[in-house]
Chains A and B, each alone.
Chain A
Amino acid sequence: MEILLNSDKIADCTADLVKAICSQVKNGDKIAVVGIRSRGEILAKRLTELLSKKLKSEIPCGTLDITLYRDDLNDPHGSSQPFVRSTEIEFDINGKIIILVDDVLHTGRSTRAAMDALIDLGRPEAIRLAVLVERTGREFPIQSDFAGIKINLPAGKSVQVNFIESDGKDEVAIITD
């Protein structure tokens, strides 16, 4: 196991993400943040707090459960099974600029599922993707708009993101599958 980011670096990356979002998205009043369960949800909440301070307005934040939109639901499975949880987006996404948040961008399949799930809730003006870690290994033509850190990682290695809220510590590690 190799530590990629410690808690200070995670905080720096998060601050960088906020800076980048504010400089590139001009219509601050249209911004809404949506995190993908479960680590994306935590990062989304952190980003929303920082964005709200910076833009001096209450930025709406919601959580997306993409289980129902996964493309492997009808694949035979053995040791694990998808568990459906609720999508909690209390605001109207129509006309919003959605900052879609996930912890890691890898194959792009989660992002695809998340976009389909979002579109079933309405028609946002735009969807922008923000991730803490962007790694190599895309299987779909998808890229991030905002990434905390970009790394080259061969197949067989995984990025494991731990957050205080869910795991008791802030740490990003690289592990061998």
Chain B
Amino acid sequence: MKKKEFIWKHKHLIGLRELSREEIEHILDTAAGFEEISTRSVKKAPVLRGKVVVNLFFEDSTRTRTSFTLAANRLSADVVEFTKKSSSVSKGETLLDTAKNLEAMGIDIVVIRHSAGGAPKFLSRNINACVVNAGDGYCEHPTQGLLDVYTIRKMKHSLQGLKVAIVGDIAHSRVARSNIYALTKLGAEVILVGPPTLMPAKIEQLPVKVSYSLDDVIGQVDVINMLRIQFERMGANPFPSVKEYSHNFGLTVERMQKAKKDILVMHPGPINRGLEIESEVADGPNSVILQQVQNGLAVRMAVLFLVNQGAMVKK
């Protein structure tokens, strides 16, 4: 019951790498308070009333974008949707010019997704509005990392000592990076699993274990996070065939029999059914894939609330 004395000081959320354990836990605790809004008759609270949130998406997205829009709506903010295709970006306008022009119209929070790693950081240094990273290149996807640890914490109560496997295309995955930072800071042990061609460079610098065999790992982990094979980001074929990848690294019903009974099966979406995960597993009793989506809303409400609070802290 003791009042929590913690001051959230950040007006941007760029990545989980630069956040402390305490800060990550504060976001998760705050998110828990926002869950209830989505269950009421009036699914709104006047938290960001009169504020403008811009969804600045230079890459395609269904879940993240909709989730941020809905989160902002539930906090009573006005939301401006911006896509690359229907904007002056297609006429050659730079990121900074686009953002400066939007800012001149009086926006408060920019949610940005960009194919270039570092774009959100760059933006945060050059505009006054709050910046929230919704995915940048191969760098980070902080709100996905947060909603993943939030989901695990909700189901398992604590992350301390849990073993978490992240399986698949680690090299191209910003989800994996944000997950690694969040999980290890909260005390979980991370095992990256995938073919060597899909492991990132300098992996030894990360506080993780690496395995090239899912069969070796599946029996020991409490959580398994299956990443999507991102064909759109791959150049030369990183594995001989889809069938072979699926055979070695797909989460099949057969493999699940070797797993712990209470293993949590996660996937950031969109799913390639039958490739990295079999439909029976994705829709099975251990799957929390849809809870991840549901929790994402509360987490994003918390993030929008907190960056706005961070902007209010007197320097």
Contacts and interface: CB of A to CB of B under 8 A. Distances in A.
A90 to B, nearest CB: 11
Contacts of B2: 166
Interface in B1-27: 1-8
B220 interface: no
Nearest to A123: B41
A77 B312 contact: yes
B47 interface: yes
8 contacts: A68-B45, A68-B46, A83-B4, A84-B305, A86-B32, A121-B40, A121-B41, A165-B1
Contact of A120 (B3, B29, B41, B302): B41
A122 interface: yes
B30 A83 contact: yes
Contacts of A88: 36
Contacts of B40: 120-121
A82 interface: yes
B309 interface: yes
A152 interface: no
Contacts of B312: 74-77
A78 interface: yes
6 closest residue pairs by CB, A with B? A84-B33, A68-B45, A120-B42, A166-B1, A78-B314, A85-B33
A82 B1 contact: no
A81 B8 contact: yes
A67 B1 contact: no
Interface residues of A, number: 29
A81 to B, nearest CB: 5
Nearest to B7: A81
A83 B42 contact: no
Interface string A53-96: 00000000000010111000111111111111111100000000
Nearest to A166: B1
A86 B313 contact: no
A38 interface: yes
Interface string B224-263: 0000000000000000000000000000000000000000
Nearest to A82: B309
A29 interface: no
B44 interface: yes
B6 A84 contact: no
Contacts of B7: 79-81
B83 to A, nearest CB: 29
A79 B3 CA distance: 14
B278 interface: no
A125 interface: no
A75 B312 CA distance: 7
Interface string A9-51: 0000000000000000000000000000010000000000000
Given A86-B36, A116-B46, A122-B41, A38 B309 contact: no
Contacts of A86: 32-33, 35-36
Nearest to A83: B4
B68 interface: no
B298 to A, nearest CB: 10
A96 B1 CA distance: 28
B42 A121 contact: yes
Contacts of B181: none
B140 to A, nearest CB: 24
